[in-house]
Each structure stands twice: as structure tokens, then as C-alpha cells.
Structure 1
Amino acid sequence: MPTVAVFTDTYLPTVNGVTYTVKTWRGRWEDRGGSMPVVYPGADDYDPAPNEFPVRSVSFPFYDGYHAALPSIPEEINGADPDLVHTHTPFVMGLAGLHYARTHNVPLVASYHTPTAEYADYIAEGWLRPPVEKAAKAYERWYMNRAEMVVVPSEPARHHLREMGVRTPIEVVPNGVDTDTFAPVDTEQFRRENDLNTGKPLVGYTGRHGYEKQLDLIVEATDGMDVTVVFGGDGPARDHLEELAADSDADVRFLGFLDREDMPAFYSSLDAFAFPSPVETQGLVALEANACGTPIAAVDAGALSDTVDTGVTGYRAPPGDADAFADVIERTIAERETLRENCLDRREQISVEHAVDVLDDVYDMLL
């Protein structure tokens, strides 16, 4: 098994889809006898484990909870003698990974996790947004075209990069779900501890509360609906969501960050997982919910057009349409039991073991 040096701008203690993917791929890769050292922005509240190499960082001013790495490559990575480099960002650590691959004459694989242009709101408003978006796309295209292979989690993400002008070979490698962890579980204790035994269907979301995910659509769609809405996670849009919820005729609860061990119970408690985000490159939380038997009420945009199989694992509505999203939520709840069985039937094909099988094939192509 080859040694793969991973460079990422997002890692522990930050918890998000990129961190989860890097961590789970790394664990499965090492279980198979390979090595996957990780180079990442260091943080005071996380102590590196063996084969984790932090670099100096500063708090990122535009996005709370993130650390921005300062350009550097730790000397220790040389001792790992990597056969190839896999970057999970086009930015600071991605450039470090590109430099390392070129100076050590090893192939570069670049994962595309996030459409950077969609996050322009965090650094630009008004007339500044269009040029920032244009510059972000141009930079992503430049970076991806310098890799020997680009990895995306879904077919829509590959199509998006081709439309942007990325010429590098692109392979679809799903992020994968730890199906040992994410499975149907008894929910009584979790529901009791979080006061969720309301006698109403539960509609929920967990993940980063970012404006780009358009989570306000959940509150708008459930206004007046006889359900309980529960948000797990946190982020810059939470205050705005709480204000919307206070002004709506909806029973909305905010649980904040949940421990990882509570996530299967959270998903298993829901009758529908609501996911209105139009910017996903896969939507890992949707697959985690599916692995727990929970169907998805989503929008027909981005990777969710591919991740959510209409009438099988959930339903999709046009993005930004609160009335249509309300219809999708109600239909998903009404067909909960049938959709649940369909979700459970697909657990193996969404597993991280399957994802790492595909990833191994990608590395073989280059080596």
C-alpha cells in the first residue's frame, strides 16, 4: 500500500464534512496497511496524534471556528517518504502540497469539496461579490489543472468542474459513510434528554449553519406545519435562524453542537432530514441520515440532485421555493416507512469501505 501525504486547510478540532472525510479515509487506509500522514493548520485545543503534522496558523477572520495555515511544510513529512500527495484544498495547504509534489516528483491528487465562489458572501458584499466569485472560479480552475488527477464526490461536481474549464482527469470518489457508526439505534434516551417527545413528526437538520446553505427555508417551509423542527450544529447563520424561528408559527428547537456519538440517535429520531442547501458537492449528512434509515427532503440542486433518489431515499423541490419545499417535507413524512426501508437497503453502496476501494483504484492509476 502506498504512502499518501494529505494536505488540508480543515482538520481537527474543526468538525465538518472535509475533516470527517480526511479522518475516515485515513483510518481505513491505515487499516489496510497503508500510511496517510496529514499536514494541517495547528490549533491550541488539539494535540496531534502520530503521523499528524500541524503547521502554524491564525484564526480565520471571516469564518468563525476555522484556522488559516501560514505557508510552510513541516520537515517531518520528508521522513514519511510519500508516494503521492493528496490535497483537500486549493488554498494555503493545497499550494504547499502542490509545491511538495513538484519538488519531490510525485503525483498530485486534488479533492474538490466545496465550490469556493458560493462563499463569497463571507468576504464580499454588493458590487464586490461578482468579481470575487469570478476570481475564485479562475483560481480553482488554475489549481485543479495542475493536478494529475481531481477527485470529486459526485457526478454533478464533475460536471461543474468541466463547465469551469478544468481539463485534468476527474474521478468520482464518494466520501462514504461509516456504516458501523451510522445505523438505526434506539432513540428514547436521546429524545427524552432533548425534550423531543412532542407527539409530532420530527424534521431536522445538522451541520454547519452557513448562510450559503439557505437553512431559513426550513423555518419558512414548516411555518404553521404540525411538526417539531430541530437544528443540530452551529455557525454564523444561527442567530438569524433563531430570529426567524421566534417570529414564525413553528415549533423549532436548537440543540447546538452534538457529540459524535449522539449523531446516530439524532438521525434515527427524525421522520425527515431537511436539506435545502444548493451548494453541496455531495451532502455527507444526507448519506449519514440515510444510513440511519432517515429519508431526505432536499432541493434539486448541486449534488443533492444525485445524492437524493426521488421516491426512493427522499424527495426534492426546486431550490429557494418554500411552498414546494413544504410539500416535499410533508410527502417525505407521509412515506417515511417505505423510504426508510429503501435507505437501509443502500447502506453498503454508501459505505466508506466502498469509497476507499474506489480511492485505491484512483491511486493505482497514478502509480
Structure 2
Amino acid sequence: MNILMLSDVYLPRVNGVSTSIRTFARALARRGHAVTVVAPDYGADSGQEAHDGHGEFEVLRLPARVIFFDPEDCLIRGASLRTAQAQLLRRDWDVIHIHTPFRAHVLGTRLARRSGLPTVETYHTYFEEYVGHYLPWLPAPLTRWLARRVSRHLCHGVDHLVVPSQQMAEVLERYGIATPSTVIPTGIDLDEFAGGNGARFRLAHGIDPQCPTLVTVSRLSMEKNIAFLLRVVHQLVMEFPDLQFLIAGEGPDAARLKHLAGELGLQEHVRFFGNLDRRSSLLDAYRAGDVFVFASPTETQGLVLIEAMALGVPIVSTAVMGTATVLRDARSALVSAEDVDAFASQVARLLRAPELRATLVKAGPEDARAWSMQALVHEVETLYGHLAGQERVPAMR
């Protein structure tokens, strides 16, 4: 099949949506499909081979501008949509897969109207829980109402929805969205998460090999709840005075989190590393942790939990929305409520018991196999084939 994927975000911008697109695109390309990803142009870094699937699939970049309130992100320029539409209409596609609800959605639905092609859209982000953090001057009931209204409008504009978890499917059902949907989580390529050297990472960054160490991998934004984890660390250092907390990721909340770490007296305990290379230093950072900690309440899935499992890092996490699905049958994780005392107690339990950690370490890779991309990509193929085989809507001229 010829598959067109459209997104308002992609690598080198690191987040779960970018990772999901890249993972599915590579898996589909390896199964013989022709995949094209259309995404914003982030400037000099956009053309790096590491960000474009190593030549396994095509990436087309559209002119974009920086978003003033979130300078990490870029918005595709509206003026470029008409040119892109004309170019893409000259090519043959079997299905259009939209990944984000902004300019990419506009382009995808325009293409569908002109061509009669089927459209599928992945609902990657729980916008109802996110929007308040980015529009804090608006009342919370208004932002929630707005997120639900916009979601209904967007979802009713496509033929089919993909949702990463059953919990997210239930949210959309409560919104009154009638568009057919399929639950297809994002898998991981287990071969990419089979390495990593924690001792090397500790040595490179001056971390004692015997020092108890926590790690998290996340975009640094308010909805990821990393401030909660800092308060957990503040509690733990009373029992583990040499504890280190390693944070990998970047985002708009970085300055506030660093300030909070200082306020809590954690300057000697918290290390911010920014975005790390997914093929080398990020794997080492995961492996450097005695425990992987996570507490985001807004995940539609929670890919980093699966990555930690694959690398054999014991997990302590809350289980809300998509993370509840990932952790439901996991033997490599301890689940906690979003309560500082309860969460710190679970982490301390692991840090005190090397034999319990070893049990969770052993279970991790087995847990991760349930989320192998090799199994999940077949579900996407089946969905595409079903949509492409349906009677086409007459194209608009």
C-alpha cells in the first residue's frame, strides 16, 4: 500500500507522537509498504538521517513557524498547505493517516475531499487534561468544554479513529463521538531496546556505582507531573541521603522544575540531562536507574513504561488512563496512588530489597513482548486494508 501520514509534530521534536509515527512508519516500510510522512520543517536538524527513518520511508517537510508560547513546537504555515495539497494530489495513495488535529488535520481532510481517499486519525493526546496548562487564564470548565467540542468536530471529520488504549476509547465515547474506532497501541521495536550500559552512564556523569538512583524519561511539561516526583525524592532523601534522580527530556516546564528542585534543597540529588540519543545515551540512562519512576495522569498510553520494561528497569508508577492498561498485568512494576507518602514507600521498598528488584528486572523484557511492534503493526495493516477496500467516495473537482 501507499500510505500518507500527516503530522504537526515529528522528530527532531521528541515526544510520544513523534516516536509513534516513526515506529509505525518503519515497521510498515519493512513489511513492503511505501510510507510518506509529512511534517513541519524544524530547520537545520530536520534533514538528519536519524530523524527521517534511515531512508526506510520518505519524510516531506513543510515550512513552519515557531509557536510563541511553546518555542519547542512549530506550526505548519497556512500558506504552504495549498502547494502541499496540489503536490500530494498528483501522487497515488491508498489511505491518509492523520496524527494531529491542527494544520495536518486540515491538509488531510482537504486531500480526502478532493480524492475520495479514506482517512484515519489517531487520537494521541488527552487534550481535555492538557489544554488548561497552556491556557491557564481561562476557567477550567471552559477549557474542558472547548476540548470536548473541538474533539467531536475533528473526529467526525474522518472515516475512522485509532486510539492507543481502551481508556481513551471510553473518553471519546463519553464525548458522544460516533466515528468508528479501533484500539491499537503503539508498540516498540524490541531490537532497539536490547542494549544500554548503566555503568557507563554513571561513570560518564560522576555517579557512584553504589548510589541509589531513580530515573524518568519525559517531556518536561506540567501535565507530566514531574513536580510530584521531585516531592517524592525530597521525601526519600531522608532515608537515602545519597539518592540521585536522573531526568531525561526537555520541555517548557524545565525552568520551573529546576527552580522547584532548588527550593526543595535537591540541588545535589537531581540531574537534568535534556534529550538523549535514543540509540545510545538514552538506553544507558534507563539502565543507570535502580528504579524507573513515572506519574503522569494524562497518558493515552505511556510508551516510556514499555521501554523501561524492555530494558529491565523496575518501575514504580501511577496507573491512570493509558498507563493503567500498560501496567495492568505487568510483573515488572509496582503501582502507587498519586500520593507522595505512598509513592515514596513503594520506591523505598524496592531500594531496600535488591532481591525484589532482581525479580522485577527479570520480568521486564517478558512484559514488554506484549507490546512488540512486530505484533501490533499487523493490526494497522488490517485496518488500512479494510478502509482502502471500501467503496470510494466520488472525488470532488
Structure (1/2) with the larger helix percentage: 2
The answer to whether the 8 A contact 1:184-1:291 is kept is no
Partner of 1:4: 3
2:63 maps to 1:47: no
Q: Per-residue CA shift, 1:154-188, capped at 9, x if unaligned? A: 11111111112121121111111121111243322
Q: CA RMSD in A?
A: 1.9
SS of the residue 1:161 aligns to: helix
* Distance change in 2, residues 1:331/1:152 (3 Å): farther
Q: Per-residue CA shift, 1:178-216, capped at 9, x if unaligned? A: 211112433222111122225222111112000011111
2:199 maps to 1:185: no
Partner of 1:351: 372
SS of the residue 1:4 aligns to: strand
Gaps of 5+ in 2: 390-397
* Distance change in 2, residues 1:96/1:332 (3 Å): farther
The answer to whether the 8 A contact 1:37-1:77 is kept is no
2:135 maps to 1:135: no
Partner of 1:315: 334
Distance in 2 (alpha carbons) for counterparts of 1:295 and 1:149: 37
Distance in 1 (alpha carbons) for counterparts of 2:7 and 2:18: 9
SS of the residue 2:292 aligns to: strand
From 88, 91, 111, the equivalent of 1:77 is 88
2:213 maps to 1:214: no
Count of matched residue pairs: 365
For residue 360 of structure 1, report the CA deviation from its aligned partner.
Answer: 1.0
Percent sequence identity is 28
Q: Per-residue CA shift, 1:309-330, capped at 9, x if unaligned? A: 36612122223x2112212322
SS of the residue 2:191 aligns to: coil
From 348, 369, 382, the equivalent of 1:330 is 348
The answer to whether the 8 A contact 1:64-1:235 is kept is no
After the TM superposition, which residues 149-298 of structure 1 pair with which residues of structure 2 at under 5 Å, given as runs? Answer: 149-197=160-208, 199-225=210-236, 226=240, 227-248=243-264, 250=266, 251-260=269-278, 261-298=280-317
SS of the residue 1:53 aligns to: strand
Corresponding letter in the other structure for 1:240: R
Partner of 2:394: none
* Distance change in 2, residues 1:185/1:39 (3 Å): closer
Distance in 2 (alpha carbons) for counterparts of 1:135 and 1:217: 27
SS of the residue 1:36 aligns to: strand
The answer to whether the 8 A contact 2:20-2:186 is kept is yes
The answer to whether the 8 A contact 1:198-1:228 is kept is no
Distance in 1 (alpha carbons) for counterparts of 2:330 and 2:184: 24
| TM-score, normalised via structure 2 length | 0.87
Structure 1, 210-219 or 181-190: larger mean CA deviation? 181-190
The answer to whether the 8 A contact 1:183-1:293 is kept is no
From 332, 341, 360, the equivalent of 2:362 is 341
The answer to whether the 8 A contact 2:215-2:288 is kept is no
Distance in 1 (alpha carbons) for counterparts of 2:213 and 2:92: 50
The answer to whether the 8 A contact 1:149-1:170 is kept is yes
SS of the residue 2:5 aligns to: strand
Distance in 2 (alpha carbons) for counterparts of 1:76 and 1:289: 41
Structure 1, 43-52 or 211-220: larger mean CA deviation? 43-52
Distance in 1 (alpha carbons) for counterparts of 2:166 and 2:346: 23
Give runs of ≥4 in structure 1 deviating > 3 Å. Answer: 126-129, 331-334
The answer to whether the 8 A contact 2:156-2:179 is kept is yes
* Distance change in 2, residues 1:216/1:38 (3 Å): same
* Distance change in 2, residues 1:25/1:323 (3 Å): same
Q: Report 1 or 2 for greater relative contact order, CA contacts < 8 Å, sequence distance ≥ 6.
A: 2
* Distance change in 2, residues 1:157/1:244 (3 Å): same
The answer to whether the 8 A contact 1:310-1:316 is kept is no
SS of the residue 2:69 aligns to: coil
Gaps of 5+ in 1: none
The answer to whether the 8 A contact 2:132-2:143 is kept is no
| TM-score, normalised via structure 1 length | 0.93
Distance in 1 (alpha carbons) for counterparts of 2:195 and 2:149: 43
Corresponding letter in the other structure for 2:76: A
Structure 1, 118-127 or 287-296: larger mean CA deviation? 118-127
